[in-house]
Amino acid sequence: MVIDRSRRLALAWMGAAMAAPLLARAQHQHHRMAAPGAPALGATAVYDRSGVLWSAYTEGAQVLLARSTDLGRTWSAGTRVNPSPEATDPGGDARPKIALGTEGEIYVSWTRALDQPYTGEIRFSRSLDGGRSFSAPVTVHKDRQLIAHRFDSMVVDREGRVFVAWIDKREVAAAMVAGLTAHRGAAVYFAVSGDRGASFGGDYRLAEHSCECCRIALALGQDGGVRAMWRHVFDPNVRDHAVAQMYPDGRAGELQRVSFDDWRSDACPHHGPALATDAAGRLHCAWFTGAEGRAGVYYARLRGAEVEALRRIGAETAAHADIAVSGARVALAWKEFDGRQSQLCALLSEDGGERFRLLRLDSTAGPSGRPQLLLAHDRFYAFWNRLHEPLSLVQLT
């Protein structure tokens, strides 16, 4: 397997000491599964209305939920989400997801790894009693082929409907059966529940020709709709980004291209975008590109079809940015490697993304997950899961 420039950039982000393991894994990738009893670095978190912080994460083949009432300084013991252990895909963009319903429901989704390489199922469970117990896990999608259904994302709209989106390769499988030699990328599919997660309608296709292993970013619009942003594979092999709206009846809105980096690559970088909506209905986006001469992380706003305020974020090793918006305040957080440590950095804007100030928040010499931005009591926090400081919060001040 040829290691292209995007993979070499990935090696630079992680440092020379970690380059050899990544190269070896690039030669023969399979599902990453955490060792039994070891917490995986892939974790997500959310604040509820009362200020309780909830986190979903994995330990071995177990998906767990924990709560904190003191800004992540201490956590409850983990509650089992899946009563029976099952192989999970816990790392990077495949980490378990958590969302809260409008009536106090707690929803958790994750990717279950199957027996064949790159295959999986999107799993879902809910708690209706404040996280004390969870329903028996179900598979969200109706398609049961032994193919890739992976990299789930989840959001709850203002009507309480649960949207779950994922990367799906059923078109690739159909092309192989038909004897076709090539199919660009995978596809984005979604399912919707209107009964508090008791059942799902779908499978609905949002877009064909998505990148195969990058997370899908979801955000609520001012009109109550759900926007999705993903890395698309434009003809012939340009891996830039697109957005579209998902409707609860399964309809898909028109695809709009967001980034124009012209990154031509035949490999997926495992590096999805971030998306948030402001009070004026503008979309705030962050993404990574490995395009020649402009590799790095970028921020932009979308006003209708217009892309504005485009700017580069951080150093050349910047990676895995997240974004959050509160009123006119816009926050971005990301990691970058300085040759010795992973630095947690942030940008904060008070004027809707026109001007930003740089914040150096924290650093670690050990392994760490991908930062997630949270909003609580009108303050921004970066949720950063590290091997020796798990499930921790860093305030953007």
pLDDT score, position 74: 95
Between CA 204 and CA 188 the distance in angstroms is 9
Does residue 317 surpass a pLDDT of 70?
Answer: yes
pLDDT score, position 27: 28
Q: Which helix (H) or strand (E) holds 26?
A: helix 19-27
Report pLDDT digits (tens) over 336-356.
Answer: 999 999 999 999 999 999 999
The single-letter DSSP state of residue 143 is -
Say if residues 332 and 364 touch (Cβ distance below 8 Å): no
Report pLDDT digits (tens) over 58-79.
Answer: 998 999 999 999 999 999 999 9
Does residue 130 surpass a pLDDT of 90?
Answer: yes
Q: What domains appear along the chain, each with residue ranges and CATH number?
A: 1-30 (no CATH), 273-397 (2.120.10.10)
Between CA 397 and CA 379 the distance in angstroms is 8
Tell me what the mean pLDDT of segment 132-145 comes to: 97
Residue the block writes with tokens 């816009």: 330
Count of CA atoms in the C-beta half-sphere (13 A) of 235: 2
pLDDT score, position 39: 63
Between CA 123 and CA 109 the distance in angstroms is 5
Does residue 89 surpass a pLDDT of 60?
Answer: yes
- Ramachandran assignment for 209, one of left (phi > 0), alpha (psi -120 to 50 degrees), beta (any other): left
Residue closest to 139 by CA, chosen among 105, 116, 166, 99:
166
Q: Which helix (H) or strand (E) holds 264?
A: none
pLDDT score, position 245: 96
Confidence of residue 38 (pLDDT cuts 50, 70, 90): low
Residue closest to 239 by CA, chosen among 210, 282, 281:
210
Say if residues 53 and 72 touch (Cβ distance below 8 Å): yes
Say if residues 389 and 376 touch (Cβ distance below 8 Å): no
Does residue 197 surpass a pLDDT of 70?
Answer: yes
Does residue 19 surpass a pLDDT of 60?
Answer: no
pLDDT score, position 135: 98
Q: Which amino acid is at 114?
A: L
pLDDT score, position 22: 30
Q: Which helix (H) or strand (E) holds 175?
A: helix 170-177
Does residue 380 surpass a pLDDT of 80?
Answer: yes
Bridge partners for 167 per DSSP: 150, 188
Look at the alpha carbons of 42, 343, 292, 16 in this order and tell me if their dihedral is positive or negative: negative
Bridge partners for 164 per DSSP: 154, 191
Among 2-16, 80-94, 134-148, the range scoring the smallest mean pLDDT is 2-16
